[in-house]
C-alpha cells in the first residue's frame, strides 16, 4: 500500500514537472534566431539521447555487478535498462531524424554521431534478442551480461563523436568537455526538460524492474507447483510457465 | 526566417516522444497487472496443494 502511494506521488511529481517543462519549452524560452522554432526540438532530443547513453551504462553496471555477485536483481536491472534503452534510443534517432530534415534537408546521413547512435540501438536490440533466445537461467543471463558490457564501449564513442570526427552534428552544448554554449534561459529550459525526462525514465525503469521481478516470482511458483505434480497453467491460457526465476 | 517555419516538424517530434513514452508505459503497466493476477492464482494453487487433506 505504501509502495502504491509512493508511486502515485511520483506520478504526480512527474506530471507537474511535465507541465512546467512544456510551459518553458513552448511559451517561456525565446525562439533561437537562426534555426527558428525547430530549435525547440533540442529540449526533447538532448534529454532522450542522454538517457539512451545512460541506459547502456546502467546495463553494463548491472551486468558487471551480476557477474561479480551472482544476484539476480542486478540482472533484472540490466534487462530493464536495456528495454528502456531501446525506447529512448529509438526516440533519440527518430527525433534527430525529424530535426535533421528541415536543417540538413535529409532524413538521415551516415554521420559519425548518428551512425554510432544507430549502432547503440542495435546493441540494445541484440541484447534483448539474446535474452529471448539464449538458454533460460543463469547461462543466458551471463551471456547477455557480456554483450551488455561490450556494448557500453559505444557510449564514450557517441559522446565524443563530434570531437573525434568532423561531423554535421553540432557540438555538445552541455556536459563535460562541451564546446558549444546556450543562452541562460535556454540552458535552464534544457535542464528542467532533462530533469523531467530523467524522472519519467526512472519511473518506467522501476516499473519494468517490477515486471521482471514478478516474472521471476511466477516462475518460482510454477516450479513449486510442478514439483508437487501440478502443471501450472498460465492465466492467459498459454503453455505451462517454465522455471527460470533464478536467472 | 519566419519563426514558425517547421512548426510541423516540431509538432511531430513532440507527439512521437510523448506517444512513444506513454505507449510503452501503458504496455509495462498492463503486463505488471497481468503478472500480479497470475501470481495471486498461482499462490492459491500452492496453498490448496499444501493444505493437509481433509481440512476445510
Please write the tens of the pLDDT for every residue from B17-41: 889 888 999 999 999 999 999 999 9
- Out of A98, A210, A222, closest to residue B42 by CB: A222
pLDDT of residue A237: 42
Nearest to A46 by CA among A91, A79, A16, A80: A91
Model pLDDT, residue A79: 94
Cα B7 from Cα A106, distance rounded (Å): 17
ipTM score above 0.85: no
Q: Which residue from A90, A86, A80, A89 is spatially nearest to A58, judged by alpha carbons?
A: A80
- Which is more confidently placed, B8 or A239? B8
With bands split at pLDDT 50, 70 and 90, how would you rate the model's confidence at A238? very low
User: Choosing among A4, A19, A27, A37, which should be mutated to test the B contact, i.e. which has the most B CBs within 10 A?
Assistant: A37
B interface test, pick of A47, A197, A221, A231 with most B CB neighbours within 10 Å: A221
In tens, the pLDDT along A5-60 reads 888 888 899 889 999 999 999 899 888 888 888 889 999 999 999 999 999 999 99
Structural domains of chain A ordered from first start: 2-227 (1.20.120)
Q: What percent of chain A has pLDDT over 70?
A: 88
Please, which residues have CB within 8 angstroms of residue A60's CB and are 6 or more apart in sequence?
A78, A148, A149, A151, A152
pLDDT reading at B54 higher than 90: no
Taking the Cβ of residue A3 and every Cβ of chain B, the question of whether any pair is shorter than 8 Å is answered with no
Q: How confident is the model at residue A236 (pLDDT cuts 50, 70, 90)?
A: very low
pLDDT at A228 over 60: yes
Residue A235 has pLDDT above 50, yes or no: no
Whether the Cβ atoms of residue A20 and residue A177 lie closer than 8 Å to each other = no
Average of per-residue pLDDT across A215-224: 89
B15: pLDDT strictly greater than 80: yes
Using a CB-CB distance cutoff of 8 angstroms, which residues of chain B are in contact with residue A87? 20-21, 24
Picking from A99-103, A136-140, A164-168, which range would have the lowest pLDDT averaged per residue? A164-168
Please tell me whether residue A132 adopts helix, strand or coil conformation: helix
CA A2 remoteness from chain centre: 27
Residue with cell 551488455: A148
Amino acid at each position: 500500500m505504501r509502495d502504491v502511494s509512493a508511486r502515485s506521488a511520483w506520478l504526480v511529481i512527474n506530471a507537474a514537472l511535465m507541465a512546467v517543462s512544456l510551459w518553458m519549452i513552448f511559451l517561456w524560452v525565446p525562439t533561437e534566431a537562426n534555426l527558428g522554432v525547430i530549435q525547440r526540438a533540442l529540449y526533447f532530443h538532448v534529454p532522450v539521447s542522454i538517457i539512451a547513453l545512460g541506459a547502456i551504462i546502467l546495463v553494463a553496471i548491472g551486468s558487471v555487478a551480476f557477474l561479480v555477485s551472482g544476484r539476480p536483481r542486478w540482472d533484472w536491472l540490466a534487462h530493464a535498462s536495456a528495454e528502456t534503452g531501446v525506447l529512448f534510443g529509438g526516440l533519440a534517432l527518430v527525433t534527430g531524424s525529424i530535426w535533421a530534415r528541415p536543417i540538413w534537408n535529409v532524413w538521415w546521413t551516415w554521420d559519425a554521431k548518428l551512425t554510432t547512435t544507430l549502432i547503440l540501438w542495435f546493441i540494445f536490440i541484440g541484447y534483448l534478442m539474446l535474452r529471448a533466445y539464449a538458454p533460460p537461467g543463469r547461462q543466458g543471463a551471463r551471456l547477455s551480461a557480456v554483450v551488455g558490457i561490450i556494448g557500453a564501449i559505444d557510449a564514450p564513442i557517441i559522446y565524443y563523436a563530434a570531437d573525434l570526427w568532423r561531423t554535421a552534428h553540432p557540438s555538445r552544448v552541455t556536459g563535460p568537455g562541451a564546446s558549444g554554449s546556450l543562452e541562460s534561459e535556454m540552458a535552464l529550459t534544457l535542464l528542467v526538460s532533462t530533469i523531467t525526462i530523467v524522472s519519467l525514465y526512472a519511473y518506467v525503469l522501476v516499473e519494468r524492474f517490477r515486471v521482471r521481478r514478478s516474472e521471476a516470482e511466477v516462475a518460482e511458483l510454477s516450479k513449486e507447483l510442478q514439483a508437487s505434480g501440478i502443471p501450472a497453467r498460465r492465466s492467459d491460457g498459454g503453455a505451462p510457465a517454465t522455471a527460470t526465476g533464478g536467472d | 526566417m519566419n519563426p514558425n517555419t517547421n512548426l510541423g516538424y516540431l509538432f511531430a517530434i513532440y507527439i512521437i516522444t510523448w506517444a512513444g513514452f506513454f505507449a510503452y508505459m501503458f504496455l509495462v503497466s498492463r503486463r505488471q497487472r497481468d503478472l500480479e493476477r497470475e501470481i495471486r492464482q498461482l499462490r492459491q494453487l500452492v496453498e490448496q496443494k499444501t493444505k493437509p487433506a481433509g481440512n476445510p
